[in-house]
């Protein structure tokens, strides 16, 4: 695993990318705390299909109805 700070990552980005492509884990840190992990990009094996969830998800009949108690909680009105 390779750990580098942001400044080093800026100046050695090409080398870090190459290390990731060779299978090495690369972590970029700031003030000694890990912030991000560089990982190789992988394309989805299957493209998205619009309508995939059609007929599989249902909404409750009262989905758009907000209970009075919830409204009161946001408006500060006592019940």
pLDDT of residue 75: 87
Tens of pLDDT, residues 32-58: 999 999 999 988 777 888 998 899 999
Which structural domain range is residue 23 located in? 2-38
Domains of the chain: total: 1
pLDDT of residue 79: 56
- Could you write out the DSSP letters of every residue in the chain? -EEEEHHHHHHTHHHHHHHHHTT--EEEEETTEEEEEE------SS---TTTTTTT----TTTTPPPHHHHHHHHT---
Total-model pTM: 0.54
Pairing between β-strand 33-38 and β-strand 26-30 as defined by DSSP bridges: antiparallel
| Residue 32 within a domain | yes
| Residue 62 within a domain | no
| Residue 74 within a domain | no
| Residue 44 within a domain | no
Tokens (6 digits) for 66: 């907000």
**Which CATH number does the domain housing residue 14 bear?**
3.40.1620.10
| Residue 19 within a domain | yes
| Residue 56 within a domain | no
Answer whether residue 12 shows pLDDT above 60: yes
pLDDT of residue 43: 82
């Amino acid at each position: 695993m390779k750990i580098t700070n942001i400044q080093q990552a800026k100046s050695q980005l090409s080398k870090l990318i190459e290390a990731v492509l060779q299978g090495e884990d690369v972590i970029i840190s700031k003030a000694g705390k890990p912030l991000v992990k560089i990982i190789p990009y992988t394309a989805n094996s299957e493209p998205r299909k619009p309508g995939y969830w059609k007929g599989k998800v249902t909404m409750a009949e009262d989905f758009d109805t907000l209970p009075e108690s919830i409204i009161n909680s946001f408006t500060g009105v006592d019940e």
